A and B are shown apart, each in its own frame.
Chain A
């Protein structure tokens, strides 16, 4: 009889156990979202870090700049849209590939390669006559003050993938 009584849980113990248990759940319920918010940036996929296929094979890239287009998802405030981006791709003298972003560093028009008769073998901006040499460096005494940006790029399975556009400082 007395042994049985020892094994029994007293009222005080029972209340202690249940209160600790319930309290623990409540604390966990409150803390979990806080922790989630605190480490939230870690869980987000890196914006713009994704590479997109430019749908051009490595062997099709020559030393002459070629215009390729690729689509990226873009978010402007609440508005999500798919935007078509343009890149000029070619092989440099050392054989490495470079993908130039044709957005003029002056005011944002789209430049074209070899598109003006007076300036062959240059990137030419139709808006204010900005000029860039083949490596994307701005020609002095034209409106742009910085070289064209360069896309991050990698080759996977022989296909060119392009990423973020990285601005360059004046050379």
Chain B
């Protein structure tokens, strides 16, 4: 499910089945070096493709929420508080599993303070999204992430 009218109409009729929410955590910056800008936008694109695909294959159980965007330089302790208020908001619907998907390794340290599960996935800094090798790598990574999500479902 996506944060779209058409999907929400389906969601409200079948809430009990869609018990998993996924939020991409996306850093944003305009003040970085040009190289860093390239890598941030590249990673943002990868994240979009990544989450879109997860959502497409598991449409009936995973809800893809809007991305959580934060400035790259901001203090993650404050961001954690704000993210936890997102979490409280999400829990107003009957979600059992909330996942944060990020390429930003800085979150790893704050994992314990977060409601929900953090999935940190390493990613290349730059690359060509149209190349077959990159696509293969991404599909492979995606399968590993969805396998991990499925282990939560089994419990």
Contacts and interface: CB of A to CB of B under 8 A. Distances in A.
25 contacts: A104-B60, A106-B17, A107-B14, A107-B18, A107-B59, A107-B60, A108-B59, A108-B60, A109-B57, A109-B58, A109-B59, A109-B60, A109-B61, A110-B56, A110-B57, A110-B58, A125-B60, A126-B146, A126-B150, A127-B17, A127-B58, A127-B61, A128-B60, A128-B61, A143-B17
Given A107-B14, A107-B17, A110-B58, 18 more contacts: A107-B10, A107-B18, A107-B60, A107-B61, A108-B60, A109-B57, A109-B58, A109-B59, A109-B60, A109-B61, A110-B56, A126-B146, A127-B17, A127-B58, A127-B61, A128-B17, A128-B61, A143-B17
B132 to A, nearest CB: 13
Interface residues of B, number: 12
Contacts of A107: 10, 14, 17-18, 59-61
Contacts of A108: 59-60
Contacts of A143: 17
Nearest to A104: B60
What is the size category of the interface that chain A forms with chain B?
A: 10 to 19
Interface string A97-116: 00000001011111000000
Contacts of A104: 60
Interface of A: 104, 106-110, 125-128, 143
A149 to B, nearest CB: 15
Interface string B8-52: 001000100110000000000000000000000000000000000
B130 to A, nearest CB: 12
Q: Which 4 A-B pairs have the closest CB atoms?
A: A107-B60, A127-B61, A108-B59, A109-B60
Contacts of A128: 17, 60-61
A143 B57 CA distance: 17
Contacts of B17: 106-107, 127-128, 143
B131 to A, nearest CB: 16
